[in-house]
Amino acid sequence: MVLVELLSSLSGLVKVRSQADIDNAVFKLHYRVTSTMLFCFCLLVTANSLIGDPINCVQGDHAMLKPKVVNTYCWIHTTFTLPKYINRQYGKGTGVVYPGIGPHTTEDDKVHHAYYQWVPFVLFLQALMFYAPHWLWKTWEGGKLESIVMGLSLPVMNKDERREKIHLLAEYLHASMHCHNFYAIKFFLCELLNLGNSVFNMWFMNKFLGGMFFTYGIDVLAFTETNQEERTDPMIVLFPRITKCSFNMYGPSGTIETHDLMCVLALNIINEKVYVFLWFWFLILAGISTLALAYRLLVFCIPAIRSGLLQKRARIRYKPGLEAIATKLQVGDFFLLYLLSKNVELLSFGSLMEELSSRLVKRNIHPDLEMTPRPVPSVEAYHLINENA
List helix spans (H) across the chain.
Answer: 2-8, 25-28, 35-46, 67-76, 119-141, 144-149, 159-175, 181-208, 216-224, 234-238, 268-301, 303-314, 319-328, 331-343, 346-365, 379-388
Per-domain residue ranges for the chain? Answer: 2-12+20-132+195-284, 137-191+291-388
pLDDT in tens, 12-31: 444 444 477 888 899 999 99
373 Cβ contact partners less than 8 Å away, ≥ 6 residues apart: none
Rounded to an integer, the average pLDDT of 372-377 is 47
pLDDT in tens, 307-330: 777 777 776 655 555 666 667 778
Quick one: residue 33, left, alpha or beta (phi over 0 = left, psi -120 to 50 = alpha)? alpha
Model pTM score = 0.79
One-letter amino acid of 232 = T
pLDDT in tens, 166-178: 888 888 888 888 8
